[in-house]
Amino acid sequence: MPWLLRPCRFPKRRCIGGSLVLSSANAVGAMISIRKLCKAFSVTEGQIAALKSLDLDVAEGEFFVIVGASGSGKTTLLRCVAGLESPDSGEIRIAGRAVYSDNPPTWIAPQERNFGMVFQSYAVWPHLTVFENVALPLREGAQKIPRTEVSSRVREALRMVQLDEQKDRSATLLSGGQQQRVALARAIAVNPRVLLMDEPLSNLDARLREEVRGKIRDLAKQLGATVLYVTHDQIEAMAMADKIAIMSFGRLLQYGDPMELYRRPNCSEVADFFGSVNWLDGRLAGAKIVETKIGKLEVCLRGDLGGPEVLVGFRPECLQIVDGSNACRQNAFGAVLRSSTFLGDQFVYEAFVNDLLVTGKSRLIPVCEDRRLQLYVDPAEIMVFPHSESKDRILMGTASLKKGLE
């Protein structure tokens, strides 16, 4: 137990020598620090840039989730950090020490980086038992663990994932969830500086996934490990992350804490990724007023929009059904209900506002006389983006994001 709860820093021996100076010179408290990282793959049709000059900092002890559609480069980024891919240029530092750099050329092989990694396929070695799977890295890995210590460390790691009773079973006889836990135990047993996880939950069924994601987060926090976690599932990201970075086509679109990304996305792509949005074309008509097809909306503007043409969006759950007496209120508009679906915890409904279809979510039953509704949006909930991101482009972007998800 004590070895597991030790804060994950460099093993002691690493702190004597030149690297200590290096890390203090670079002291920003970042465990993982990535600068201008580029990576392209050559395919038969030419080159595909998977990472385009990417910068990222992950603080020590942080649970950092990278989300993005498939093809966005998130797995490539993770594999570059792990050392399973070699970047084309840029720099990756772990606790201030370069593991990859183009100048001066530096490369530390994956087996010398002292990471733990959980793979999408779990990569549980099928010819070994549960115990042996966890023990092999300790016995034959780069860290020279005393033989006498191996068995107690394996048992400790298995206990933490509640697999100590299964330790002598063959790994292939385990269920998906159990294999996933073996992979996790193997990753934490080496007492890694950084835990890397590549969509570890994507092969579990939905119910189990919800259960496990809480456990993984708890475990990581208990160990004080820095975690870099890749997923395409925005719910998973929001549920687990201290910080989320969203990637698209090899670039980082935005990073911050989950609420920030959900409520204050810096572009329509991010907004779309974290949930559905009703998008409208609009035109600035005053300091806080945008004219749209559904009427004049009061908004809270942040930053420069580059011109009067803007894109306005609000999430379905921000639509409030209000009674008709508030008809003259700002940001309220009449709508004609088209359809509504009962989902148990809420209704999802579609309504026409001046020929424009909007989607709303409500806990109230959206029924009324003549199918007429009065809807209201809080100005603080309305997102406004420059129109240079035209609706078409966003739709295309969304389509490709969504396509990637399927």
Pick from 7, 46, 104, 303: which binds other proteins (CB under 8 A)? 104
Residue 140 binds other proteins, judged by CB under 8 A = yes
- String of contacts with other proteins for each residue 36-55, x by CB under 8 A: -----x--------------
Q: Which of residues 168-227 bind other proteins (CB under 8 A)?
A: 183, 186-187, 190, 196
Pick from 38, 40, 59, 84: which binds other proteins (CB under 8 A)? 84
Residue 149 binds other proteins, judged by CB under 8 A = no
Q: For residue 228, how many other CB atoms are within 10 A of its CB?
A: 26
Nearer to other proteins among residue 169 and residue 371 (C-beta):
169
Length of the chain: 406
Q: Using CA of residue 382, residue 387, residue 391, residue 397, what is the dihedral sign? A: negative
Residue 102 binds other proteins, judged by CB under 8 A = yes
For the bound state, the minimum distance from the C-beta of residue 122 to other proteins, rounded and expressed in Å, comes to: 8
H/E segment holding residue 75: helix 74-82
List of residues 6+ apart from 285 with CB closer than 8 A: 291, 296
Residue 126 binds other proteins, judged by CB under 8 A = yes
For the bound state, the minimum distance from the C-beta of residue 140 to other proteins, rounded and expressed in Å, comes to: 5
Provide the residue type at 213 as one letter: R
Residue 14 binds other proteins, judged by CB under 8 A = yes
Residue 260 binds other proteins, judged by CB under 8 A = no
List of residues 6+ apart from 385 with CB closer than 8 A: 267, 268, 305, 310, 311, 313
- How many residues touch other proteins under the rule CB under 8 A: the total is 47
Q: Judge contact between 202 and 187, C-beta under 8 A.
A: no
E-strand spans in 180-318?
A: 194-198, 226-231, 243-248, 251-256, 278-284, 289-292, 295-298, 309-314
End-to-end CA distance of the chain: 41
Peptide bond into 258 cis (omega under 30): no
Phi, psi (5° rounding) for residue 385? -125, 155
Residue 3 binds other proteins, judged by CB under 8 A = no
Rounded distance between C-alpha atoms, residue 353 and residue 375, angstroms: 10
Q: Stretches 132-140, 262-270, 348-356, 371-379: which one binds other proteins (CB under 8 A)?
A: 132-140
Pick from 40, 48, 136, 208: which binds other proteins (CB under 8 A)? 136
Residue 143 binds other proteins, judged by CB under 8 A = yes
For the bound state, the minimum distance from the C-beta of residue 335 to other proteins, rounded and expressed in Å, comes to: 49
Binding residues for other proteins, per CB under 8 A?
13-14, 16-19, 41, 82-84, 86, 97-98, 102, 104-117, 119-123, 125-127, 136-137, 140-143, 183, 186-187, 190, 196
